[in-house]
Every structure is written in structure tokens, then in C-alpha cells.
Structure 1
Amino acid sequence: MDLSYFDVVDATWPPAKITCNGPWLIREGQGGGKRVSAVSATCEVSAEDIPQALAAQDALHQPHLFMLRPVDQALDQMLDDQGYQVVDPVHLYTVEPSTVAQAHIPPVTTFESETPLAIARELWAEGGIGPERIAVMERAAGPKTFLLGRTDDRAAGCAFVAIHNGIAMLHALEVITAHRGKGLGRYLMYAAAKWAHRNGAKELTLLVTRRNVPANALYTSLGMLVVGQYHYRLKEA
């Protein structure tokens, strides 16, 4: 897996603050979820280095959460030996935007905005994406857009896309439960690809948990390929 994808993750879904503490990259999430509050290693570490990461998380009042990439096999085993459990294995998908951007979107189905609309905030809140995660989107510095999707004559879905180093990454795709299975998620993906292509992105990428079977099926049907994975480890208090 190309580790530069993780730079795209941090740039398009940015923590409130990132600091280096010894061999550790410490993300300050401020309630924005696992992706912005997990610790990751910047080099090879030993078991003696782990307490330093735990102390940094304690100082931020965050759980003892580690992100494990394919290059972190030794650390993964150390944490397993210490009783840390695997949480949320994730797939990273990619596709060339132009291959998806050619698809037709029915009129008045998707819309772009420079800031999250009030109705999008409501839809995200219904899906469990609250103000802390909205703040993550607002922190992203590169080209970005907020997508709103409509079906059955009402707003029913939304997503966020941002670009870093020529790679667009989609986050927080949400279609409210009552309107799933009607193709709106696919249309939002089309809209994301069109925006990414128009803004010069060479790839459209996204992250999704392996257990999300419908989402994985959608992305595969769009010709997206899995190019990487990671998971978290967490020890319950």
C-alpha cells in the first residue's frame, strides 16, 4: 500500500492538531471520531515505546487508540499481546474520476455547496455525524465541496469531498435510512467523481469499514479497487 494515501486522509479529514511525540504521531480529535484521534507510529517502535503513546492520549483525554497500517505488523503483534482488540478494519478504495464522471445524474438530484447547508447538517446528525465531525470537514484546507442529494422530492443524503496532492477523498457519505436502496448513494458518488474530475484530481478515493457490505458492494460496482487497508486497536478500560 502506498503510505502517501495516509497523508491524504489527514489532509482531507484533518485532526484539530497533529504533533510528533518521540516515534509517535499524535492526533488530537476533539470528538471527531477514531480517524482523527488515533495514534500511529512514524518509525519502528518497541514495546517500551508504547507507554509514551498512552501518556500522550491521556493528556488529550482520548482513548488508547492505535491505527495499524500494513507496515505496522510488529506493533500490531505487540498490541495484540497486550490485550488490545482489533476495531473497525477499513478498506481504502480508489478509481480514476473520469471513469465515473461520465454517468448521468437526473436533474435536481445532487447539488454542491462551499459550506455545509443547514439541511445537510440535519441529515448528518440523523446518521450520527454531529458538530464535531462537521468541524473536521470545515478544517480541511484544500479544494473541497459539500454535496447534497435529493430523492422522493426531499433532501435525503449528503457527502463531503476534498483534494490533497491531486487525490480527492470522499468522506461522510450518508443517506437517511428511510430513503436507502433508491440509488441516491450512487448518484452522490457520480457527483463526487464529476467534481473531482473538474477540479483536476487524478484519483477519487474513500475509506469504508469492511463490515459495511452494501457500501462495499456499491463502490465495487463503480469499478473502484481496494488499494489498501488498516485497522485500529483499542484496549477497553
Structure 2
Amino acid sequence: MRDATTASVLASVRRLEAVGFRAWPAEQAIYDGSWLIRLTRAHPSKRLNSLNPLDPGDRRDIAGRLKAAGKRFAAAGRPLTIRMTPLAPPELLDHLHGEGFERFDESIVMSADLSQGAGEGLDQLPLRDINRFIDARLAISGEPESLRAGLCSILAAIKPETGLFLLQSADRPSAVALAVLDGELIGLEQVAVAEAERGQGLGKAVVQSALRWGHLHGARMAWLAVGAANAPALALYRKLGFSEVYRYAYFRERNEA
């Protein structure tokens, strides 16, 4: 029974990892066996610049492959960053601990059954203007203008259908969400609420609008990834019917300086 349960969980992880890669595509995707190297010069996102082991049984030459991956990351001007999900081999985790790598930034991948009410919300049409969405996202998050070109290229590279959602108050952007419709799955990316307007239900409203749009277009399940330390966002998503599927964390070489 335990083996069957483990197989079922890993199947869910594989499915969500695959749609996650399509929802937030990297400029380069390079495979070394089942280890996926994702690199993106135009944007510093860890998800877009990470080594992703995708098979617990792929434990061949861990030290040599990490060294080769490190050279690829260095050539791209990025630090070697390993994203560890339940698909990573335990031997790799042991190796990282033994070599002094440090763990940081844990995230939780959550899902919700849209037939249970998570698809309720305002019937809002998504934006068609990528630049307007990016303007709002940068203004709300306070991220630097230098990320504009990278965000534009990422959004343009998403192959599944997307919905760009924006809420405004007093002609200022208040909340944004990117929805990616991939078959019967809808993923949420880039969810953000303006700091001065948090606690007013805007996050719930923009997420529900995105989920309703996805549900009306055939989605049956929603998914998202949220920082494990982001208590307000976790509380919101749980209220909307999301529950944890799995976690992942990043590892990097320890800086001794």
C-alpha cells in the first residue's frame, strides 16, 4: 500500500512539475539524463535558473554531473542552484549536505478541485495587453524596471492559453494574477496585491476571477506555488479550497565569505 501511495504522489508531482515548466518557461532547457537544467539570461527567477532532478532513481555520477552543471550556470552568469522536489534522488540530497550546500526558500505546491466552489467569483475578462499587465505587476511588486524585458519574453513564450487579470482602484493597479490554462489544469502565477491595499479582499477577488475564467474554459483543477513562509497567502489559498500536494526547496553552494 505504501508503495502504491508513493507512486500516486510521485505521479501527481510529475504532472504538476510538467505543467509548471510550461507555465513559466525558461529560455534554455537542457537535459542530463532526467536532470533538467533551466537557464534564463533575461530574468533572475530561481525557477528559471535551476537544476531540476526529475527521477528518484537517477543517481549516476552525482558529483561529476553537478560539476558539469555548474559550468553551464557559470557560462550563463548564474550561480548553481538546485531545486529539490520529491522527484530528486535521496543520494543527491545526501551529497549536497556532505558538500556543504545550503538550503533556502522553501515553496509549497497546492491544488484545488474547481468543482468544489473554487471557481466561483467575478466574471472578469482577462487583459490582452501584456505591457499593461507588466506595468501593473512591476508597480505592485516594486520590482525594478530592468525586469520588464525579461517578463515580456517569458509571457510571450508561454504556449498554453493565458489569462492576464488586473484589478484597479482609483486608476491605480491594486492586484494582478496570471492564469495559465493547460488542458484541465489552470495554474496561477505572478499573483500580487499592492502593499497599501492588502487585507481588503483584493487578492481573493483577483484569484477567484482567474479561477472562474479557467473553470469556464474547461479547467477542473487549479494549482499554484507559494512561499512556505508567506502566511497570509497560505491562509487565503486554504480558504479558497487549496491544499498542499508537495514542497520543494532550493540549494546553493555556501558562501564562506
For normalisation by structure 2, the TM-score amounts to: 0.83
Residue 238 (structure 2) aligns with: 220
Range with greater deviation from structure 2 (186-195 or 14-23): 14-23
Alignment CA distance shift 1:102-1:125 (3 Å): closer
In the TM superposition, residue 152 of structure 1 has moved relative to its aligned partner by 5.4
Aligned-residue offset at 1:223: 1.1
Q: RMSD of the alignment, in Å?
A: 2.0
Within 2, Cα distance between the matches of 1:32 and 1:179? 27
- Aligned equivalents of 1:32, 1:140: Cα separation in 2: 17
- Taking the aligned partners of 2:180 and 2:129, their CA distance within structure 1 comes to 12
Contact 1:94 1:204 in 2 (8 A): yes
Deviations 1:89-108 (A, max 9, x none): 110111122422224x3x9x
Gaps of 5+ in 2: 1-8
Deviation at 1:198, TM superposition (A): 1.2
Q: Which amino acid aligns with 1:84?
A: F
**Structure 1 alignment gaps of length 5 or more:** none
Report the alpha carbon displacement of residue 236 of structure 1 after superposing the two structures with TM. Answer: 4.2
Matched, 1:39 2:56: no
- Cross-structure match for 1:116: 130
Q: What residue number does 1:11 align with?
A: 22
Q: How many equivalent pairs are there?
A: 232
* Shift in alpha-carbon separation, 1:227–1:61, aligned structure 2, 3 A: same
- Superposed, 1:1-237 pairs within 5 Å as 1=9, 2=12, 3-30=14-41, 31-43=43-55, 44-45=58-59, 46-72=62-88, 73-98=90-115, 99-103=117-121, 105=122, 111-118=125-132, 120-126=133-139, 127=141, 128=143, 130-131=147-148, 132-151=150-169, 154-237=172-255
List, as ranges, runs of 4+ consecutive aligned residues in structure 1 with deviation greater than 6 Å. Answer: none
Identity %: 22
TM-score (norm 1): 0.90
Contact 2:28–2:40 (CA under 8 A) maintained in structure 1: yes
